[in-house]
Amino acid sequence: MDPYQPGDRGFFLAFAGENISGWMAAILGVSLISVVLSAVHHAEVVAHKVGEPYGTLILALAITVIEVSLIVSMMLSKQGAGSTTLARDTVFAAIMLINTGIIGICLLWGSYLHKEQIYIKQGVSAALVTLTAISVLTLVLPNFTTSAAGPVYSSSQLIFVAIISLVLYGGFVSVQTVRHRDYFLPEENEGDYHAAPPTKLTTAISLITLVLSWQS
């Protein structure tokens, strides 16, 4: 359509895309971020109640539900060029942000304050081997398959890879929660370990709010 002039009000309105104004978009953007934040906060409350290692599992599942619903709704609402790569871009970005950004800052800051930090090797190793297998299988291998040209899988390959991903992730979750729970339990530090777990009422409210925030 008409060219947007950076710097004036038209540019700001241009952010609005198709049918909403700039202010509306800004308000929606802020509310989207706050919904995400509050969803994760409520997930944290529920996680705190159930304790490790189920707590981190619930948190991970909560953000994944948000992520998947965002991606799927964006893919369905705009089936044009570009949205076919959205899932890949998001997943790749998430992995790189975690692998280099979050873990890097954790190690750097943690080791700056505490010199050496310990963790349970077996648990981290199980997570890393699963992460390596799934990420190479889903993000790298499609470039080299010949059934469908380009960086895509054919339908049958896609189903196969989807099942493999689920099996590997399911395997990791069962290791984390049942077979080798102790690999993922943090060492009890003196004193500052946890605040008192929330009451049943708080947990229930959080759970309901969590489900509600997924709907909005």
Partner 1 sequence: MLLSKKLSPTIEGIVMDLGAPKSLVGVIIAAVILMPEGLAAIRAARKNRLQTSLNLALGSALASIGLTIPAVALVSIVAGFDVTLGIDTKSTLLLLLSLFTISISFNAGRTNIQQGWCCW
Residue 76 or 201 with smaller CB distance to partner 1: 76
Nearest Cα neighbor of 72 from 87, 89, 59 is: 87
Please say which residue, 7 or 201, places its beta carbon nearer to partner 1.
7
Give whole-number Cα distances, 44 to 202, 208, 210, in Å.
Answer: 12, 13, 10
Residue 172 or 203: the one with the smaller Cβ distance to partner 1 is 172
CA atoms within 13 A on the CB side of 140: 7
Closest to 56 (Cα-Cα) out of 42, 44, 68: 44
The residue among 107 and 201 lying less far from partner 1, judged by its C-beta, is: 107
- In the bound complex, what is the minimum distance in angstroms from residue 198's beta carbon to partner 1? 16
Output the smallest distance, CB 207 to partner 1, in A: 17
Quick check: 16 and 22 in contact, CB under 8 A? Answer: yes
Smallest gap from Cβ 95 to partner 1, in A, equals 5
Q: Which residues contact residue 214 at a Cβ distance below 8 angstroms, ignoring those fewer than 6 apart?
A: 39, 65, 66, 69
Least gap, CB of 62 to partner 1 (angstroms): 9
Nearest distance in Å: CB 27, partner 1: 10
- Kindly tell me which of 87 and 201 has the beta carbon lying closer to partner 1: 87
Distance, CA of 155 to CA of 163 (rounded, Å): 12
